[in-house]
Copies of this chain bind each other. A is one copy, B any other.
Amino acid sequence: MNLTPSPFATPFPKLPEVKGVRAATGSRGFYAKRGVTRDDVFLFAFDEGTTCAGVYTISRTASADVLWCRQALQTGGGVARALVANSGNSNAFTGPKGQEKNEATLKAMTETLGVAKEHCYLAATGVIGEPLADPNYVGAFVPDLAAKLGPPDWEAATRAFMTTDTFAKGAGMSMDIDGHDVNFAGIVKGSGMIAPNMATMLAYIFTDAAIAHDVLQELLEDITNETFNAITVDGDTSTSDTLMVFATGQSGMDPITSKDDPRLDAVAMALHSVCLELAQLVVKDGEGAQKFVTIQIDGAVSPMSAKIIACEIANSPLIKTAMAAGDANWGRIVMAVGKSLEPIDATKLAIWFDDVQVAVNGARKPDYSEKAASAVFAQPEFTIRVDVGAGEHSATVWTCDLTHGYVDINGAYRT
């Protein structure tokens, strides 16, 4: 299947080197049967002393890889030494064979790299439910990759785990902390089956900051709520969603071991910024996306209520098709707000498209201009803001439109 690049596609950014991280990518042949030659596996290796944090899909049918990562994060004490991910097969709903593939891969990682099993992380993305004929298919490839380990080629790694993505997505930054050069590099893949509750598919952020596992874990969970869990393409939740941060500590800074450490603010800012950029890039590469839309809800009774209303708007097929057509059909916004069943004051409801107010006090604005509203919807990026008149709380969610491209891509994905 040939995918038309997203109109928001950008060249892969220059990401900083992260001390203590080595990587290698290679082609195992997952795509060969489709006549495509491309890299489809990567291996990352981390220096001793690397901590990590992770959040994963809440799906009841989570992939074998996700189940392993969750277990390793608990039993391994938040230490990470290696990561292997493949595209082309998700290893979800593969029964005992899925676990066999993991065991074989983990065995290869521990033997090749001389690290503990519970410090090794796994991921797989692609078609659900097709077990690998050879459980060691990935494991047998690990020594080849280990022999090539070196400073990461971030773009190559990103391309190795892409599926229906139309461009390689990364974000990063560097900052000074106590005279130490601290670097962050993040990569993400994901385009469809994207909804709040881990919308990432797979995202990894690498840093040479030094930070204890428990502090990093709490920080990541907070940040996820406002970034990766605030995006939606189609409201569908993957069985494989994974977001992990690896902190090698090789920048030389003294470790952050408490959430009261004043240096945590800088690290939090950097992580938030990288997560938000990666999350928004996923929406911008949403399957068939032609529009990038910010949904802002004000006047809700709680942040959670605001987010629920925002997601009803962001996931409504009627609103998403109207976005695609550039049709400023604000009545459907009213429908979605009502459908949320959240507390609102319908007599105070107000709606804006960018700076154009279209509704006030529960009715169309008297001087409503269809032309002005349509001009906003004609743009590639715009904001829908709704004040639901019931309280003081807000939330922001990012989404894309529902186009013929989405229908095409998802009818043809397996062919």
Give chain A's interface residues, CB within 8 Å of chain B.
57-62, 90, 92-98, 127-131, 192-193, 195, 197, 234-239, 315-318, 321-322, 324-325, 327, 329-332, 334-344, 346-347, 349, 359, 361-364, 402-404, 406-407, 410-415
Contacts and interface: CB of A to CB of B under 8 A. Distances in A.
Given A234-B318, A321-B406, A414 B338 contact: no
A336 B236 CA distance: 7
Contact of A239 (B315, B324, B334): B334
A327 B237 contact: no
A211 B131 CA distance: 59
A130 B328 CA distance: 13
Instruction: Kindly list the 3 A-B residue pairs having the minimum CB-CB distance in the complex, ordered from nearest.
Output: A325-B411, A128-B331, A95-B363
Nearest to A358: B129
Given A60-B346, A131-B363, A327-B415, A334 B407 contact: no
B410 A321 contact: yes
B362 A95 contact: yes
Contact of A322 (B195, B339, B362, B411): B411
B93 A331 contact: yes
B97 A410 contact: no
Contact of A402 (B317, B322, B340, B347): B317
B236 A413 contact: no
B406 A327 contact: no
Nearest to A233: B317
Contacts of A315: 235
Given A129-B330, A331-B127, A412-B325, A317 B62 contact: no
Nearest to A238: B335
Contacts of A330: 129
Nearest to A94: B363
A322 to B, nearest CB: 6
Contacts of A407: 321, 324, 402-404, 407
A333 to B, nearest CB: 9
